[in-house]
Amino acid sequence: MISQLTLGERQLALATSALVVALGLAMAVLGRGDLMGGQGFIVLLFGIAMLFAVMSGYYAPEPSSERLAQYYDDPIRAGIIVSMVWAIVAMFVGDWVAWLLAYPDMTFDAPWASFGRLRPVHTTGIIFGFGGNALIATSFHVLQRTSRTRLPDQFSPWFILVGYNLFCLLAVSGYLMGITQSKEYAEPEWYADIWLVVVWVTYLALYLRTLARRKEPHIYVANWYFMAFILVVAMLHIVNNLAVPLSLGSVKSYSLFSGVQDAMTQWWYGHNAVAFFLTAGFLGMMYYYLPKRAGRPIFSYRMSIIGFWGITFFYMWAGSHHLHYTALPQWVQTLGMTFSLMLLIPSWIAAANALLTLNGAWHKVRDDATLRFMMVAAVFYGLATFEGSFLAIRPVNSLSHYTDWTVAHVHAGTLGWNSMITFGAIYYLVPQLWKRPQMYSPALVEVHFWLAVAGTFVYVFAMWNSGIIQGLMWRTYNESGTLAYSFIDSVVVMHPYYVARGVGGLLFLIGSMIGFYNIWMTIRTARSSLRASADQPFAAPSSGGAMQAGE
């Protein structure tokens, strides 16, 4: 890591680490007597660890200029490993939360183990820890290969990766301490949000700098999706988290929005976080890794562009469907519902494009579990987007909202779409990046695939059943015109479904642990010298398009 940095970059890394130490110390001092102090100590220890890491390789010989003829893959390797660590931790917490609903005493009377604190640890750990690190790593890989150029420097990708994980660490540790903005998918407080802005602006700058120096004149469609992911998430994050802190030494802040405006801003953010973090970024993965693994070109490049602009435009207006039957004006609710229905067109264009790409390669799907992960991801993407448009219809929403049907829908997307395409991309990348002919155990990839599929189906079907039963029980009236069931009655009926939910989550967790073991063993058995055969950009532009760029 450090040995690949130039002397100037090592000095910059040292200065940045020292700045993080100073920020942590300031937070600890200003926040004494407040939870800010605890967060300050975390930042302080993180900065000290980075100082030691930089110093350990500071006096190593500088890398030769030959490195500039090769792609820079070290941050990608680190991102994959960190992503899998977050996956195991966050899935474990998620399954714990699932079992809490069936057996509430599993909190052990500890405040940090309550549902309200563990649940955002799970969502943040999965979405931002597992998913975010995978997106950063794969975007670095795809960007270099499709542009046929190396990242412009060695410091920026490491700052992005390490700085991003500091944000994730501050977020989940804060939840366990009771620190939250109480905004869905935006729980971290103001100081963590500001740090993420710094990291994200660096990410955007690195992406633009790399594209500007590309040797391939064409910008492949996967980069369009990654750029939309980076740009729109930045806009969403900044606007939704506009707040005034109580003081520089307090974790508490007050949103600049209030009432229904705050709700509208939050769900403009929340649904577009799904759109551009959990959809656009992962479509960038799919549009590169699925054709590569299948050995087939994208079925229709035109469809991919139409789908891109449809998703980019329609999604922006759909967030208000989360606020049906609230104080939000009726016309705004109708607008959100209408655009949600129109979203089905570009979403199914993307899913169909992926599946049609497999024409002539279905025999590979049968034999290759890695490609099967990607195929199942495309199927679940199509199913989840259809369900999302269906649930946005106001009469349907009156039955589904606030029930476990919404939980089923979310996990059909996150387990079936996001996780499956991520595992497929990682299984494709690991042998290539560590110069192995295949994964340590192809059989374990098969085991992981079937456990993941089984876990997803058990989880989603359990929550579909429980959600629809909940909705029907809550709207059932007796002959006298009063509710036939109390809320507690519905909770009692849910118990077997919550047990099934926990079992489904456990199957998915076991599969992920097997996958992590397989990845780790592949890395351990890799050749000692990875750079001797590192990928290199082609010397001359190819007339065949970006998908022929170096591999």
Distance CA 77, CA 141 (A): 10
Strand partners for 253: 245
pLDDT of residue 532: 47
pLDDT of residue 240: 96
Q: Helices 133-147 and 155-177 meet at what angle, rounded to 10? A: 160
- Between 416 and 536, the more confident residue is 416
Transcribe 52-95 into DSSP letters. Answer: HHHHHTTTSPPPPGGGGGS---HHHHHHHHHHHHHHHHHHHHHH
pLDDT of residue 68: 87
- Asked if 488 contacts 419 with a C-beta cutoff of 8 angstroms, the reply is no
Decide if pLDDT at 182 tops 70. yes
Residue 548 — pLDDT band, cuts 50, 70, 90? very low
How high does pLDDT run on average in the chain?
Answer: 93
pLDDT of residue 545: 41
pLDDT of residue 525: 87
Residue 76 — pLDDT band, cuts 50, 70, 90? very high
Average pLDDT over residues 422-437: 96
pLDDT of residue 147: 95
265-282: per-residue pLDDT in tens? 999 999 999 999 999 999
Residues of the chain above pLDDT 90, percent = 91
The Cα-based distances of 227 to 36, 230, 232, 327, 385 in angstroms read: 34, 5, 8, 35, 22
Decide if pLDDT at 539 tops 60. no
Least reliable range by pLDDT among 194-203, 214-223, 496-505, 530-539: 530-539
Decide if pLDDT at 95 tops 70. yes
Decide if pLDDT at 309 tops 70. yes
Token pair listed for 424 = 């497929």
The Cα-based distances of 543 to 223, 337, 546 in angstroms read: 19, 44, 9
Residue 117 — pLDDT band, cuts 50, 70, 90? very high
CB burial string 338-375: b at 16+ within 10 A, e below: bbbbbbbebbbbbbbbbbebbeebeebbeebbbbbbbb
Which residues does 305 contact at the CB level (< 8 Å), separation at least 6? 221, 224
pLDDT of residue 544: 38
The Cα-based distances of 318 to 136, 401, 402, 479 in angstroms read: 26, 16, 18, 39
pLDDT of residue 297: 94
pLDDT of residue 66: 82
Residue 543 — pLDDT band, cuts 50, 70, 90? very low
Alpha helices (runs of H) in 392-486, residue ranges in sequence order: 394-400, 404-413, 420-433, 442-474
Q: What are the start-end ranges of the E strands in 248-375?
A: 253-255
126-161: per-residue pLDDT in tens? 999 999 999 999 999 999 999 999 999 999 999 999
pLDDT of residue 542: 41
348-378: per-residue pLDDT in tens? 999 999 999 999 999 999 999 999 999 999 9
Residues of the chain above pLDDT 70, percent = 96
145 CB neighbour count, 10 Å cutoff? 23
- Between 232 and 108, the more confident residue is 232
522-536: per-residue pLDDT in tens? 999 876 545 445 566
Token pair listed for 543 = 């007339």
Q: Helices 35-56 and 7-30 meet at what angle, rounded to 10? A: 160
What's the predicted TM-score (pTM) here?
0.94
pLDDT of residue 3: 81
Residue 275: burial class (beta carbons within 10 Å; 0-12, 13-18, 19+): buried
Average pLDDT over residues 153-181: 97
The Cα-based distances of 34 to 46, 252, 536 in angstroms read: 20, 10, 51
491-518: per-residue pLDDT in tens? 999 999 999 999 999 999 999 999 999 9
